[in-house]
Amino acid sequence: EDKVVQSPLSLVVHEGDTVTLNCSYEVTNFRSLLWYKQEKKAPTFLFMLTSSGIEKKSGRLSSILDKKELFSILNITATQTGDSAVYLCAVNGGGGSYIPTFGRGTSLIVHP
């Protein structure tokens, strides 16, 4: 059974801090790893990673994958209150279909 574990479960920081969110996984036939941001409603897609060592970047957010050690990190620099959300990690594996397994998420709260 595919498994995705995120840490920490929750994090409280002040604006301007840098945070690192972790995602480790066990999956058969890894295809891709996905990061989503979930505010009050639906998860919104952030990144898809397929290759080790190649950083994906979008503004203050960046992510990297290590396929040897089976983990990914999501970094957020100079955090803002608008970054407060649950960050979900998901991994695609298994057979021929792209059906991800989601982790439980990391709840990030950024105080002004």
Partner 1 sequence: DAGVIQSPRHEVTEMGQEVTLRCKPISGHDYLFWYRQTMMRGLELLIYFNNNVPIDDSGMPEDRFSAKMPNASFSTLKIQPSEPRDSAVYFCASSFRDRAGGYTFGSGTRLTVV
Q: Which is nearer to partner 1, 96 or 112 (CB)?
A: 96
Three-state SS string across the chain, please?
A: CCEEEEECCEEEEECCCCEEEEEEEECCCCCEEEEEEECCCCEEEEEEECCCCCCEEECCEEEEEECCCCEEEEEECCCCHHHCEEEEEEEECCCCCCCEEECCCEEEEEEC
| Min separation Cβ 53 and partner 1, Å | 19
| Min separation Cβ 38 and partner 1, Å | 9
Q: Which is nearer to partner 1, 18 or 44 (CB)?
A: 44
Interface residues with partner 1 (CB under 8 A) are: 31-32, 34, 41-45, 48, 50, 88, 90, 92, 97-100, 102-105
Q: Which is nearer to partner 1, 7 or 32 (CB)?
A: 32
| Min separation Cβ 112 and partner 1, Å | 26
